[in-house]
Structure 1
Amino acid sequence: MLKVRTRDIYEKFSLELVAGEEGIDRPITTSDLSRPGIELAGFFDYYPAERIQLLGMTELSFFEQLSDEARITRMDELCTDITPAIIITRGLEVPQELIDAAERESVPILRTKFKTTRFSGNLTNFLESKLAPTTAVHGVLVDIYGVGVLITGKSGVGKSETALELVKRGHRLVADDCVEIRQEDQDTLVGTSPELIEHLLEIRGLGIINVMTLFGAGAVRTSKQITLNIDLELWDQDKQYDRLGLDEEKMKIIDSEVPKLTVPVRPGRNLAVIIEVAAMNFRLKRMGVNAAQQFTDRLSDVIHEKAIQDED
């Protein structure tokens, strides 16, 4: 599915359209940008035509030193049928040769007043966000003490009810039922809610409630990085559950892995409190405090000392 067109960056950054209006809906397929300095010198063997091209002070100053024939040839080669746009930075004057070539090939020529380095950074961040790999997961995403907790489990296990209790305890809901996830970096997963169900919770027996209306704007947020997965499952008396917290499971989402905890559900267990404490304990572990490991180390020391005493 097409995610970004040239029109999107034109509107996002309030750019000036100088030429090539017919190509304003061209697709943008990569977040990589190109500053075609070596191409203006005549080397087009590896020209990345599918990228947005940025022309700043350096490129245009060099271009002015070329002969009239070379100026026309370079701009003809710069404008291809797959080039999404050519952007002139610093509000510099657009060469007439570029305008003529862009009109022939319908390549949008845009202009911004920002400096090249600053604008390229902002544009790259925008494109990486829009072009990031995405997926959707059935679950609930809640911000608990700054930890993005993705609560998963089979339908009817109590995910939404647990999220409601967490919201009542002062935490913030990001998404219920369907969590849209995009991978913005190698190990950075950001979850959001589909626009249709944003701020809504479905509670069986009550129906759909609007969390922001009931609890205020501080009870919701639009997105959150996912750092912990808690999987709720019905209690299985034949299954051995981790009682120390030393086992480390992982949940793979797209190309990233998130720490996973499996919490059994049975009557009388306060899931909201358990998940809240799990988030706090996760923060402690990231700060270097691992209670389970400390207990294991102390136990090993006691056993070792006991063995020495027995030998004596």
Structure 2
Amino acid sequence: MKAIEVSELAAQFSLEVLAGVDQLDRKIMKARAYRPGLEFVGYFEFFPQEHIQILGKKEITYLHSLSENERNHHIGNIVKYHPPCFVVTAGQEGLKYLTKYCDQEGIPLLRTNVATAQFLGMLDAYLLKTLAPEISIHGICLNVSGIGILLRGKSGIGKSETAHTLIRRGSRLVADDIVVLKKLSSRTLLGTHNEKTKEFLALRSIGLINVVRLYGRQAFQDETRIVLDIELTKWRDNELNNDLELEPKFTEYMGVQIPHIEIQLQPGRDVAGLIEAAANNWYLKQQGYSALEEFMKRLEVE
């Protein structure tokens, strides 16, 4: 299972360390933060102790309203579960009692000036992507007309040349050669690069090019949601399907099914144009439009 250290979290969000400075190597393994509520009144039946604990204005105001003995009792009950860290939001002060207990138990206590709701949104998004299960596959990842596409095929089939044509037409490169796929949910797959190949595209007979230097910042983006898996294959006579609507096929990555399209290559075929058409057609289908249904309705009218 993937994990990050509390020190990485502190650096990512410029968090102030109030306690547990020698415990910043503690591991964070859960992708959602938690705001304790019922735990302050002693109910710990479903307490997610492995999650980051967020203390916003509501929680801190409640603790301030208690007597010293009550406050010590409630804080003592929570820290004994040793969550990875506490984060106090909205720059709240008067936290000596929290600092004392966190130092005693070796739990990092961090603080941000960002409002609670805003910080929770940023934190959960960061953790979800950072801790997501991932695999690396061979291929090219592109964003075509706002649609994330995984372009695959055997070495030398023409993936890079096709990608280059698409980039010149306005598409964006995400990753070449090694594509990192992250599973954000049972239906969401994110494609990104491995940092080393960022912005680079390898073209046979030309060599390595930097698409940002050649075509500008708009030629690249860091990540995209993958919604189409397109495979380039060699031409096979009498095997090119010409049905009005093809039976849907899927490729599965880490349990996430992605619509799959095979495009056979032959001199003269506008492969880049076909990929653009596939992307735009997928988008129309998501909006509820079917070209086949419209065509059949026209036939009925006649």
Confirm or deny that 1:139 pairs with 2:135: no
Preserved contact between residue 2 and residue 133 of structure 2 (Cα < 8 Å): no
Matches within 5 A, 1:104-253: 104-237=104-237, 239=239, 241-253=241-253
SS in 2 for 1:34: coil
TM-score (norm 1): 0.86
Query: Separation in 1 of the partners of 2:73 and 2:53?
Result: 17
Q: Which residue of 2 aligns with 1:25?
A: 25
Preserved contact between residue 191 and residue 224 of structure 1 (Cα < 8 Å): yes
Distance change >3 Å, CA 240–CA 297, structure 1 → 2: farther
Q: Which moved more, 1:195-204 or 1:274-283?
A: 274-283
Preserved contact between residue 5 and residue 27 of structure 2 (Cα < 8 Å): yes
Q: Which residue of 2 aligns with 1:10?
A: 10
Confirm or deny that 1:271 pairs with 2:261: no
Q: Which moved more, 1:64-73 or 1:163-172?
A: 64-73
| CA shift for structure 1 position 192 | 1.2
User: CA offsets per residue over residues 217-246 of structure 1, 9 Å max, x none?
Assistant: 222222222121211111233646353233
Q: Which residue of 1 aligns with 2:90?
A: 90
Query: Separation in 2 of the partners of 1:236 and 1:94?
Result: 74
SS in 1 for 2:272: helix
Query: Separation in 1 of the partners of 2:88 and 2:55?
Result: 5
Q: Which moved more, 1:98-107 or 1:88-97?
A: 88-97
SS in 2 for 1:182: strand
TM-score (norm 2): 0.89
| CA shift for structure 1 position 34 | 2.2
Preserved contact between residue 81 and residue 106 of structure 1 (Cα < 8 Å): no
Preserved contact between residue 136 and residue 178 of structure 1 (Cα < 8 Å): yes
| CA shift for structure 1 position 163 | 0.6
Q: Which residue of 1 aligns with 2:53?
A: 53
SS in 2 for 1:132: coil
Instruction: Could you tell me which runs of 5 or more consecutive residues in structure 1 were left unpaired when the two chains were aligned.
Output: 306-312
Distance change >3 Å, CA 95–CA 278, structure 1 → 2: closer
SS in 2 for 1:33: coil
Q: Which moved more, 1:93-102 or 1:64-73?
A: 64-73
SS in 2 for 1:191: strand
Distance change >3 Å, CA 94–CA 22, structure 1 → 2: farther
The alignment-based identity, stated in percent, is: 36
Query: Separation in 2 of the partners of 1:286 and 1:62?
Result: 47
Preserved contact between residue 132 and residue 182 of structure 1 (Cα < 8 Å): yes
Instruction: Could you tell me which runs of 5 or more consecutive residues in structure 2 were left unpaired when the two chains were aligned.
Output: none
Preserved contact between residue 162 and residue 272 of structure 2 (Cα < 8 Å): yes
Preserved contact between residue 137 and residue 180 of structure 1 (Cα < 8 Å): yes
Query: Separation in 1 of the partners of 2:117 and 2:217?
Result: 36
Distance change >3 Å, CA 20–CA 234, structure 1 → 2: same
Query: Separation in 2 of the partners of 1:37 and 1:278?
Result: 49
| CA shift for structure 1 position 263 | 0.9
Q: Which residue of 1 aligns with 2:103?
A: 103
Structure ID, larger Rg: 1
Query: Separation in 1 of the partners of 2:229 and 2:254?
Result: 14
Distance change >3 Å, CA 53–CA 14, structure 1 → 2: same
Task: Specify the code of the residue in structure 1 equivalent to 2:36.
Answer: P
Distance change >3 Å, CA 94–CA 88, structure 1 → 2: farther
Distance change >3 Å, CA 45–CA 225, structure 1 → 2: closer
Task: Specify the code of the residue in structure 1 equivalent to 2:132.
Answer: A
SS in 2 for 1:164: helix
Query: Separation in 2 of the partners of 1:209 and 1:242?
Result: 37
Task: Specify the code of the residue in structure 2 equivalent to 1:17.
Answer: V
Q: CA RMSD in A?
A: 2.4
| CA shift for structure 1 position 21 | 0.6
| CA shift for structure 1 position 193 | 1.6
Q: Which residue of 2 aligns with 1:308?
A: none
Query: Separation in 1 of the partners of 2:221 and 2:32?
Result: 30
Task: Specify the code of the residue in structure 2 equivalent to 1:169.
Answer: R
Preserved contact between residue 82 and residue 105 of structure 2 (Cα < 8 Å): no
